Chains A and B, each alone.
Chain A
Amino acid sequence: MSIEAHGIRKKFGAFTALDGVDLHVPQGKLVAVLGPSGSGKTTLLRIIAGLEFPDPGSGRILFHGDDVTDIPAGRRRVGFVFQHYALFRHMSVLENVAFGLRVRRRRDRPAPPAILERAHRLLELVQLDGLAGRFPSQLSGGQRQRVALARALAVEPKVLLLDEPFGALDARVRKELRRWLRRFHDDIQLTTIFVTHDQEEALEIADEVVIMNQGRVEQVGTPQQVYDNPSTPFVYQFLGNVNVLRAPALATALRPGGVAAATQEGLIYVRPHDIELAPHDAGGPGLSAIVRHLHAAGPHARLLLEQVQTREQVEVEVSRSELSGLNLKVNDLVRMRVRQVRSFAEDFAI
């Protein structure tokens, strides 16, 4: 089922959480809503779920084309997974999963044995059937997350909403679980929105990424689109490391045939891996810089350079082999060239 939001506004007192947000999530897609904390992404998710309501008269929420703006959460058929799981602490895992079925009206409610059977099947689906009798406090973070997912699926939701689903987990579990979620989504094909502040997570598993900032949508696109063609400086900075430089200094550093997008007065954004290094006496286009710091652990070497003319600091990432070819040490002079830059008018500045 597709999800649409049109012109959603939401204020909490004087704070504007959402300032006219439009969103379209096509049927069956896995969409990430990505943004820093305070960007309004969780509020948007809660409004879609019906846990919050948009400011009166400001916008509509449509599920599969039907207006659900005034329908309460319980009747929207939404599966919601909370950041801190919100499992019922006094119920066993099995009873947690069965809850949504047990609270149904009598005529819609399956018989008790059927409820338990359904709950067991959902626990199998999330590979936790062995833990049915445990209590939430006896589970690890990743297990709790999957129980919360099974519980949300028990009511046969038409959409799945996940609020920072991996936010409270340690790095290794988080990586495993997000791949598992991607496979899981491919199996069940349920329209899913998940909220995250982790760009790596969003870019890795989402079909589409919605980037939010200060209550507005900055950009929507596939992970590759938003990464390769950021439409605003915010998006550029938010998705990965970036050097922000004044333009004139770099105008001469462009490699012949490089992207000549730099304007005379705009700011220039360069990703660290889009800068290449050459011996200082190599000649040709490029800027002189001094190596200030060298960090060679890991697959790539990271260098901090200081431009000789402007004293601007530039972060550069090169392969280990490229670095060993140059034979650089701290305080050496080097020539840097830029493969790809992107400029924005200055009044776009963040």
Chain B
Amino acid sequence: MQPRATRDPAWARWLLTAVALMFLLFFLVLPLAVVFSQALEKGVGHYLATIREPNALEAIKLTLLTVAIVVPANVAFGVAAAWAIAKFKFPGKSVLTTLIDLPFAVSPVIAGLIYVLVFGAHGWFGPWLIAHDLKVIFAVPGIVLATAFVTCPFVARELIPLMQAQGTDEESSAVTLGANGWQTFLRVTLPNIKWGLFYGVILCNARAMGEFGAVSVVSGHIRGVTNTMPLHVEILYNEYNIAGAFAVASLLALLALATLVLKSVVEWRQAGVP
């Protein structure tokens, strides 16, 4: 029970709760409900047909492929960067810390443009890439690069404060007990950060699946080839295939919901761990 002095009057508590709930209802629950109702508007048969349509299947495959490359790459980068920043002193540490945040500060569209300027036909490496018959822009590599750029802070950001709070004493004692660097990481550091890492992976995964702006710039919107799920939704929508657009969108929404459930489970586990 809270002390009386810091307790708000009943009407204030009810009002604040009501405002928050109304907000949630209008801005989160309602749109989600609309997505699913619109998706199923023309019946389950049409819904399944839209999803089974080859271009839609290709978009789903491409999104999953991107996630399968980007998330592990970001886990490797994030853990390495967080480990370096939290456990060691080195020149340029603050620069690295700032750089990790850069993708959060830059608009995704600009992130996409950067890759066009670097790897596009008229970009720095454009002629060289064309000469060697390699395609980055308007192809899968560009999509992966743009997604990786946008999602790169998630894992590192999650781990740095956690690892800083844990300090280096446990690692030091592992070292005095004869553990080598790899054993120290696997047996001491990793178990201590596993829930934070998992949380970072979930967030990174959600963003990688949903990324629109950066991917839109580099993809070229070639149907069945360089369309990810969010881009496919846009195309269907622009063609007035509302039910189709919402059907694919509902898949993304389902993935998001699954991610949220996982996230709550992880948070609950994290709270339970000493």
| Cβ contact within 8 Å between B177 and A89 | no
- Give the shortest distance, in Å, between B170 (CB) and chain A (any CB): 5
| Chain A interfacial positions (CB closer than 8 Å to B) | 49-51, 72-76, 78-80, 82, 84, 86-91, 99-100, 102-104, 135-138, 148, 151-152, 154-155
Given contacts A51-B172, A72-B175, A76-B176, 13 further A-B contacts (CB under 8 A): A51-B176, A74-B177, A74-B179, A79-B176, A80-B172, A80-B176, A87-B170, A88-B170, A90-B192, A99-B179, A103-B179, A152-B177, A155-B177
Q: Tell whether A75 pairs with B178 under 8 Å between CB atoms, given A88-B188, A89-B192, A89-B274.
A: yes
Measured CA separation A299–B176 after assembly (Å)? 45
- Give the shortest distance, in Å, between A212 (CB) and chain B (any CB): 21
- Give the shortest distance, in Å, between A69 (CB) and chain B (any CB): 16
B169 at the interface (CB under 8 A from A): yes
Q: Tell whether A86 pairs with B178 under 8 Å between CB atoms, given A99-B187, A103-B187.
A: no
Q: Tell whether A82 pairs with B172 under 8 Å between CB atoms, given A89-B192, A90-B192.
A: yes
- Please name all residues of chain A whose beta carbon is closer than 8 Å to the beta carbon of B177 when the two chains form the complex: 74, 99-100, 103, 151-152, 154-155
Measured CA separation A225–B191 after assembly (Å)? 49
Residue of B nearest to A108 (CB): B178
- Please name all residues of chain B whose beta carbon is closer than 8 Å to the beta carbon of A84 when the two chains form the complex: 169
| Cβ contact within 8 Å between B176 and A49 | yes
Interface residue range, chain B = 10 to 19
Q: List 7 A-B contacts (CB under 8 A).
A: A80-B172, A86-B172, A86-B173, A91-B191, A103-B177, A104-B178, A154-B177
Measured CA separation A86–B170 after assembly (Å)? 5
- Please name all residues of chain B whose beta carbon is closer than 8 Å to the beta carbon of A99 when the two chains form the complex: 174, 177, 179, 187
Contact of B173 among A80, A102, A104 (CB under 8 A): A80
- Please name all residues of chain B whose beta carbon is closer than 8 Å to the beta carbon of A73 when the two chains form the complex: 172, 175-176
| Cβ contact within 8 Å between B170 and A74 | no
Residue of B nearest to A161 (CB): B176
Residue of B nearest to A76 (CB): B176
A-B contact count (CB 8 A): 71
Measured CA separation A91–B178 after assembly (Å)? 17
- Please name all residues of chain B whose beta carbon is closer than 8 Å to the beta carbon of A89 when the two chains form the complex: 170, 192, 274
- Please name all residues of chain B whose beta carbon is closer than 8 Å to the beta carbon of A136 when the two chains form the complex: 274
B180 at the interface (CB under 8 A from A): yes
Determine which residue in A75, A78, A88, A103 has the highest number of CB atoms from chain B within 10 A of its CB, and name it: A103
B:160-209 near A, CB below 8 Å = 169-170, 172-180, 183, 187-188, 191-192
Residue of B nearest to A91 (CB): B191
- Give the shortest distance, in Å, between B131 (CB) and chain A (any CB): 49
| Cβ contact within 8 Å between A82 and B178 | no
| Cβ contact within 8 Å between A90 and B191 | yes
In the A-B complex, list the 5 residue pairs whose CB atoms are closest, starting with the nearest. A86-B169, A100-B177, A137-B274, A103-B179, A80-B176
- Please name all residues of chain B whose beta carbon is closer than 8 Å to the beta carbon of A100 when the two chains form the complex: 177-178
Residue of A nearest to B183 (CB): A103
Measured CA separation A229–B41 after assembly (Å)? 95
- Please name all residues of chain A whose beta carbon is closer than 8 Å to the beta carbon of B173 when the two chains form the complex: 80, 82, 86, 88, 148, 151
- Give the shortest distance, in Å, between B194 (CB) and chain A (any CB): 8
- Please name all residues of chain B whose beta carbon is closer than 8 Å to the beta carbon of A155 when the two chains form the complex: 177-178
Measured CA separation A73–B172 after assembly (Å)? 9
Measured CA separation A99–B173 after assembly (Å)? 10
Q: Tell whether A51 pairs with B175 under 8 Å between CB atoms, given A86-B170, A103-B183.
A: yes
- Please name all residues of chain B whose beta carbon is closer than 8 Å to the beta carbon of A82 when the two chains form the complex: 169, 172-173
Contact of B180 among A74, A79, A91 (CB under 8 A): A74
- Give the shortest distance, in Å, between B177 (CB) and chain A (any CB): 4
Measured CA separation A79–B176 after assembly (Å)? 7
- Give the shortest distance, in Å, between A163 (CB) and chain B (any CB): 10
- Give the shortest distance, in Å, between B154 (CB) and chain A (any CB): 23
- Please name all residues of chain A whose beta carbon is closer than 8 Å to the beta carbon of B176 when the two chains form the complex: 49-51, 73-74, 76, 78-80, 152
Contact of B178 among A49, A74, A87, A148 (CB under 8 A): A74
Measured CA separation A138–B274 after assembly (Å)? 9
- Please name all residues of chain A whose beta carbon is closer than 8 Å to the beta carbon of B187 when the two chains form the complex: 88, 99, 102-103
- Give the shortest distance, in Å, between A111 (CB) and chain B (any CB): 18
